[in-house]
């Protein structure tokens, strides 16, 4: 039977401000990526999200990004040195590991957030710095990589276990990169259309670009953004469509 992991970015509130419906989404995902305080999140939010995940038996990963609360980590910081990127990412992974240890849970993977991920997908130095940071902290951590991006060879060179990710609610360029959020149509909202799109992604091992180009991609895990409007309905629709198609939703296996 074909299997697929569904991952979701959670814990992205800050203080009194909540982002998304973590309680509902965590019951629909099989792995979650928790903000580590730089683009969103704080110690209390991190602990609450870890506790939710532990109670639901869901695996947790660190979701590090640029230090940019105001811009939600979706603005690139140009000119950073490799060592600065490594330290920034290691700091965030360590923060979540400490919270998880207090809660009796364990961090199993790392998925980079927003602009930091976007830059790394196209820039060798940034990609290598991310992989280096993860390896230095814990070489057993699974590196969640955008399929067909520069994160893949960086993870391979570092010898990290990896899973390849596609996005349910994001449009793709012909190059296989994500359409910039600055462009109209970059984020998808039609729950029914997204559900059928995910089924095709999983069954075909491919995504369809904005021009209709079919791009082959290894598909180990599918991301549904927790902050996308209607995220709960999207996740429910995706799970039901996968079930109807005979696809089992379960935690990812590493690609090696």
Distance CA 146, CA 207 (A): 12
pLDDT in tens, 177-223: 999 999 999 999 999 999 999 999 999 999 999 999 999 999 999 99
Q: Which DSSP category does 13 fall into?
A: -
pLDDT at 228: 80
Pick left, alpha or beta for residue 141 (phi over 0 → left; psi -120 to 50 → alpha; otherwise beta).
beta
In this model, does residue 31 exceed pLDDT 80?
Answer: yes
- Residue-range domain boundaries for the chain: 3-249
What is the pLDDT averaged over residues 62-71? 97
pLDDT in tens, 98-138: 999 999 999 999 999 999 999 999 999 999 999 999 999 99
Residue 254 pLDDT grade (very low, low, confident, very high; cuts 50, 70, 90): low
CATH number for 3-249 (one of 3.20.20.370, 3.40.50.10470, 3.40.190.10, 3.50.50.60): it is 3.20.20.370
Pick left, alpha or beta for residue 89 (phi over 0 → left; psi -120 to 50 → alpha; otherwise beta).
alpha
Q: Is 138 helix (H, G, I), strand (E, B) or coil?
A: coil
Cα–chain center distance at 198: 16
Q: Are 15 and 235 in contact (CB under 8 A)?
A: no
Indicate the length of the chain as a whole number. 256
Whole-model pTM: value is 0.94
């Amino acid at each position: 039977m074909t299997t697929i992991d569904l991952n979701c970015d959670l814990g992205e509130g800050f203080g009194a401000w909540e982002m998304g419906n973590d309680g509902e989404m965590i019951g629909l995902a099989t792995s979650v990526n928790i903000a580590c305080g730089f683009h969103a999140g704080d110690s209390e939010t991190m602990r609450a999200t870890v506790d939710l995940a532990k109670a639901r038996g869901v695996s947790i990963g660190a979701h590090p990004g640029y230090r940019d609360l105001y811009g939600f980590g979706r603005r690139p910081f140009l000119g950073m040195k490799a060592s600065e990127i490594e330290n920034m990412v290691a700091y965030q992974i360590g923060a979540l590991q400490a919270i998880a240890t207090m809660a009796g849970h364990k961090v199993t993977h790392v998925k980079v957030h927003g602009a930091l991920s976007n830059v790394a997908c196209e820039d060798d130095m940034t990609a290598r710095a991310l992989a280096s940071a993860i390896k230095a902290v814990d070489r057993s951590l699974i590196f969640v990589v955008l399929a067909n991006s520069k994160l893949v060879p960086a993870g391979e060179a570092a010898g990290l276990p990896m899973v390849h990710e596609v996005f349910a609610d994001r449009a793709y360029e012909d190059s296989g990169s994500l359409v910039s959020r600055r462009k109209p149509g970059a984020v998808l909202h039609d729950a029914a259309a997204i559900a059928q799109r995910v089924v095709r992604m999983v069954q075909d091992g491919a995504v369809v670009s904005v021009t209709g180009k079919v791009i082959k991609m290894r598909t180990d895990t599918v991301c549904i953004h927790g902050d996308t409007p209607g995220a709960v309905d999207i996740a429910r629709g995706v799970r039901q469509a996968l079930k109807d198609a005979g696809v089992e939703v379960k935690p990812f296996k590493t690609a090696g």
